[in-house]
Structure 1
Amino acid sequence: MNKFETLLKEKMSEESFQKLAALKNEKVMDFVGTFAEHCDPKSIYVCDDSEKDTQYVREQALAKGEEHTLANSKQTIHWDGYGDQARDKKNTRFMVYKENMDKMASLNSIEYEEGLSEIMGIAKGIMRGKDAVVLFYSEGPTQSPFTIPCVQFTDSWYVAHSENILYRTAYSHFLNMKDEEKDDFFRFIHSAGELDENGCSVNLQNRRIYMDTQNNIVYSMNAQYAGNSVGLKKHSMRLAINKSGQEGWLCEHMFVMAVVDKKKNRKTYFCGAYPSACGKTSTAMIPGEQIVGDDIAYFRNINGEFRAVNVEFGMFGIIKDVNEQDDPVIFKNLMLNQEVIFSNVLRGKDNKPYWLGMGVDAPDEGRNHFGEWKKGVKDANGKEVGVAHGNARYTMRLDYLDNIDKAGFEAKDGVKVEGVLYGGRDSDITVPVEESPNWKDGILIKAATLESETTSATLGQEGVRTPSPMANMDFVSYPLGSYTMNNIKFGESVKATPKIFSTNYFMRGKDGNFVTSKLAKKVWLHWAEGRIHGEYEAYDTPTGKIPHYEDLKALFKEHLNEDFSKETYDYLFTFRCTKWTDKLERTKAYYKKMDPNTPKEIFDYWDAAIAKINKAKEKYGDLILPGAFKG
């Protein structure tokens, strides 16, 4: 008899307890029992994979006021508190054993015993009087080489509802685990804490998201915003990055998509990493191509092939500027009467959702994250409150989308990846598309050097470049140098290593405007796809290979019916020597700051690249036109 059996029977119905007991998993029982005792919820409901339980979670989210109905009956709206609408980076910390603190110091860590004492102190009795729920999920498809089973224990039925949309339920997977597998799963304990009259977390000063990568458990307390509370999203990603580093696979902040060449009846899979606001979702959703996943990918070497799955079943997307013109596929689905959770947008008097950049005139009053709202209302700091929050979201199933690649989405062995894209926001250095000569070069010259450039509209200071190696720095959970080396080793371990390409959609002309339209990314993508299949010649540069003008001219005409001038081509694809050596020096400085133990071979590689660029500068000048460089 498990030591928590009596307690759990008191807090659960007979049906719920039997669901838990049927798993015959002592670690699951101990996890649920420990926090049933410590957090002290009034009751605990255990979910299996049935539609009955899925529907029960939806109903409870509405009944408890965590979500509200909309004009479309299958859609709901949720509001987070006014100070709880973005990831809390300050209070998201790794709990690290004392002997590992030095190497984890740059990753916002807290000593393990100190962190455990603090978070358990906050969690003591935090669910008292509330109904909690235990759910079982899978990161990636179930019963697959990629599967990571997960258990979520939460008192937020909005969180449970969100996870039911975003992830595959996996009670059956747990039921069928072999004895040797039963200890290997991720655990998430979450409480929204004390709630106000609007159902929002009160004690934000005690909001903590503490991650224990050594024992694969995440504690999230006094948080509601999904980025802080939905354990299987970025919290799980941090656990998986650490786990993959130990086991020899990769977890990356990447989309997975299929580039479709209808003329040749060909489908080529790409993955891509882009810092926030640098084109990640818009690339994954390029019209005419197909999407497998928009956010997180696992990579494994399966029979010598570089294979990827989308970890998720749904998407938790930023809704700002989603409109019929720029995002027709997503916008169409947000208008249909199907299951969607809107968060932190306006519910008008017509019971319809409205958000920033929707392309539809919003009403002058309604209810939003601020509470009862009227146009022109100001918050306590005298700041005018907009129609919706800038980080407002939608939560929706991916398989609603017309452009989903259904075969790739469900493939238990994943899809074979042939191209990997890395793109930042860069007004004056990186060309729109460039191929790396090999995998290691791609990781160190394209991925590790990624930067995102601020604009005057966002921060008031233009041109500040934020380093973002692999577009993953918020989630890397072990030292950056080791993480980079693991990326190199994994790519070199497969027989058919994918080609790596850099992209940059943000090159500005002398007038300060973007040189190409948003749609040009389709051209850069199809050139990369053609290179994978040996269809285009390329010019060398000191950092890789770039397209010939004639090929791009034809691609612009074929895909966009646009003319592409030689003058524009020369400007976009000029190699800028000093700009590039400065970029590499910034990367070196960042790595030294973030991980003083970064392997010397990484710095040696960058020094060799700087020497190569300087040699080219001496021979060809600071600005090297396409085709001029001869190696």
Structure 2
Amino acid sequence: MASWAADDIHKFTVQRIGRVPVIKGDFQSLPKQVKNFITHCVHLMAPRGIYLADGSKKEADEFIQKLVEKGTLTKLTAYKENYLCRTDPNDTARVESKTFTVTMNQYDAVPHVKKGVKGILGHWMSYEEAAAAMNQRFPNCMTGRMMYVIPFSMGPVDSPFSKIGIQVTDSAYVLLSMRVMTRVSLQLFELLHERSFVKCIHSVGCPRPVHGRIKNHWPCNPEQVIVAHYPEQRLIQSFGSGYGGNSLLGKKCFALRIAGAMAKDEGWMAEHMLIMSVTTPQKKEFFIVAAFPSACGKTNMAMLNPTLPGYKVQCIGDDIAWMRFDHDGKLLAINPENGFFGVAPGTNTKTNPIAMRCFQENSIFTNVAETSEGKYYWEGLEDETPENVEIRNWLGHVWKRGQSKSRASHPNSRFTAPAKQCPIMHPRWDCPKGVPISAILFGGRRPKGVPLVLEARSWSHGVMLGACVKSETTAAAEFKGKAIMHDPMAMRPFLGYNFGQYLQHWLSLEQPGRQMPKIFHVNWFRRGDDGKFLWPGFGENIRVVDWILRRCENDDSIVMESPVGFLPRPGTLNMDGLPPINEAELFSLPKQYWLDDIKQNRKFLEEQVGVDTPPVILKLLKNQEEAFKQC
């Protein structure tokens, strides 16, 4: 996969694991637990060689060159060091139906689902079933391929929040992407003399010689895909897919599922949340986290371009937050990631000008289209792309705007870009101590009934709001079409243990002496009877944030009671400069809609969480129902 210097080749005779040579790196100097892990993987998967990644630019340049020569990557010549990757058409999204949590006790992994109901809050597999599945897949699966060993840190290397992982993989695409998304460094091996690490095992499942056709120079094994998490062992096994969410194991697999179980055991939080800084015209800074399901504007929010004068927004992270309370009772958060893995379609200079500036160089684009000018293209860039350029779609075929029936880019096409390239990254984005959180936002894509913003009455009420998050389904997973799906806490696909226990963990965080952030629910996507959005969204969302920050300073003059929580008092949301907004409709609470919604939420909890549901959540839902009945 890469060229090796003479001194590295010389080491073939010096450092081996059995008959397998160490192509690069000093295996003998590694901590014993690391050597044991690598040795186990070598004996299991039988690679042709072992490569210890160092995360350097020199290393990345070498692999990029080889992947371009092979055809896996295509250089986008209009930019500096930007590359396009096309995957096998059968390997384009997370495989939630093939993602499992493996535990001794089933109900440590998933809730007590009502009999006859299919659970959607995770999938459990016994150790015996997992062993059988893995024994059918992993033995000798790297035959003829290099095994890359990637030491990585989730979070700044010197942060007490951070955790270390080691991923083995036979995909050079994964090696390059992990370098962007995590902090890859040989220094981490030294730290592992004293610390433990999360074991991450990945293979594309295509030993050589390959039987069957490799599409787009993208080896994978779609029929045998499985992603298994072992929270009790701090272990992840992923087989058959090279796509990001299934193969970049530091991301959802480690940073949410395994870290979630760690957080429960250790008393902190691992959440599917952006982290942003907002500085007011009065030069007062606040930090906010927000949990939105896929395609609900999370990256747009993290990189908000405020339209109100005097406001400044800076980004700490766009996807995952690790949070814990300090000795003074403040909730502090870090972004455990090192890059952005964002959905490309819909991103443009109008919807997210900041994101566009993030990936003008040193970025990898997966399953987007390419223009004859050597530029990326996807749905949403029509106004920024000349009519006369030729476009090749994500499959490499000529695509004509207005004529081709298929999309130019895959709906789940991605950009992978270093976080440090974001022009509004906060100076403290990688601060080891984290940043103090004042507000937590939940939200979903809700076209009907749900107001633009509401505030929870209490911490437990906020947990209930989070437990009832719903949204239209997206292309980030294998679901088709648009339907409103329950996505509690925006964590439905990423839970690492029983959701009822997860809710109880949230409730348990409220303790004397702690400064609990206020919790809000937002909905940028409500539509009127004419089908049009009632709220302009994007940079105008700063007007909602402005109201939220005033509430964080306990301005009681701007709120009024409602059955769902605190709503903005009419006229207290800054609408200056906007075209007429139907504020009454935007904040209306249709009684029958909400009674039906409460009924659906109760049914969801009773069926999907059952006896694991914390009683206070059901009590708060009952209180909400009674409040509407009395309206």
Range into which the TM-score falls when normalised by the shorter chain: 0.7 to 0.9
Cα displacement string for residues 131-189 of structure 1 (whole angstroms, at most 9, x for unaligned residues)? 2211111111112121110101111111110110111124313313453x2x3434333
Task: Describe how 1:283-298 pairs up with structure 2 within 5 A.
Answer: 283-288=301-306, 289-298=313-322
- Aligned equivalent of 1:275: 293
Cα displacement string for residues 71-103 of structure 1 (whole angstroms, at most 9, x for unaligned residues)? 024111111101111111222222233665895
Amino acid at match of 1:209: V
- Aligned equivalent of 1:483: 502
Unaligned runs of 5+ in 2: 1-13, 114-118, 307-312
TM-score by length of 1: 0.87
Structure 2 CA distance for aligned equivalents of residues 77 and 121 of structure 1? 33
Residue 398 (structure 1) shift: 1.5
Structure 2 CA distance for aligned equivalents of residues 174 and 186 of structure 1? 13
Q: CA distance change for structure 1 residues 6 and 114 in 2, over 3 Å: closer, same or farther?
A: farther
Task: Describe how 1:427-466 pairs up with structure 2 within 5 A.
Answer: 427-444=447-464, 446-453=465-472, 464-466=483-485
Question: 377, 387, 393: which one pairs with 1:354?
Answer: 377
Contact 1:347/1:368 (8 A) holds in 2 = yes
Q: CA distance change for structure 1 residues 454 and 77 in 2, over 3 Å: closer, same or farther?
A: closer
Residue 535 (structure 1) shift: 4.0
Question: 493, 500, 505: which one pairs with 2:524?
Answer: 505
- Aligned equivalent of 1:257: 276
1:66 and 2:66 correspond: no
Quick check: 58-67 or 393-402, which moved more? 58-67
SS in 2 for 1:187: strand
Higher helix share: 1
- Aligned equivalent of 1:307: 332
Residue 333 (structure 1) shift: 3.6
- Aligned equivalent of 1:387: 408
Contact 1:377/1:385 (8 A) holds in 2 = no
Structure 1 CA distance for aligned equivalents of residues 220 and 422 of structure 2? 37
Structure 2 CA distance for aligned equivalents of residues 174 and 581 of structure 1? 56
- Aligned equivalent of 2:515: 496
- Aligned equivalent of 1:596: 610
Q: CA distance change for structure 1 residues 74 and 102 in 2, over 3 Å: closer, same or farther?
A: closer
Task: Describe how 1:338-417 pairs up with structure 2 within 5 A.
Answer: 338-359=361-382, 360-361=385-386, 367-375=392-400, 384-407=405-428, 409-417=429-437
- Aligned equivalent of 1:562: 578
1:542 and 2:563 correspond: yes
Cα displacement string for residues 16-48 of structure 1 (whole angstroms, at most 9, x for unaligned residues)? 1x2x33232x22212211111221111111023
Question: 470, 473, 482: which one pairs with 2:492?
Answer: 473
- Aligned equivalent of 1:623: none
Quick check: 535-544 or 367-376, which moved more? 367-376
Highest RCO, 1 vs 2 (Cα 8 Å, sep ≥ 6): 2
Amino acid at match of 2:395: F
Structure 1 CA distance for aligned equivalents of residues 222 and 228 of structure 2? 15
Structure 2 CA distance for aligned equivalents of residues 258 and 309 of structure 1? 12
C-alpha RMSD of matched pairs (Å): 2.7
TM-score by length of 2: 0.87
Question: 30, 34, 43: which one pairs with 1:28?
Answer: 34
Question: 8, 12, 20: which one pairs with 1:11?
Answer: 20
1:48 and 2:54 correspond: yes
Contact 2:94/2:245 (8 A) holds in 1 = yes
Amino acid at match of 1:190: S
- Aligned equivalent of 2:445: 425
- Aligned equivalent of 2:4: none
1:241 and 2:260 correspond: yes
Residue 284 (structure 1) shift: 1.5
Structure 2 CA distance for aligned equivalents of residues 245 and 468 of structure 1? 20
Question: 230, 241, 245: which one pairs with 2:248?
Answer: 230
- Aligned equivalent of 1:620: none
SS in 2 for 1:82: coil
Contact 2:101/2:497 (8 A) holds in 1 = no
Question: 504, 529, 534: which one pairs with 1:515?
Answer: 534
Task: Describe how 1:68-217 pairs up with structure 2 within 5 A.
Answer: 68-71=74-77, 72-97=79-104, 100=107, 103=110, 106=119, 107-177=122-192, 179=194, 181=195, 183-191=196-204, 193=206, 194=210, 196=214, 198-217=216-235
Contact 1:323/1:357 (8 A) holds in 2 = yes
Structure 1 CA distance for aligned equivalents of residues 562 and 458 of structure 2? 14
Residue 432 (structure 1) shift: 0.8
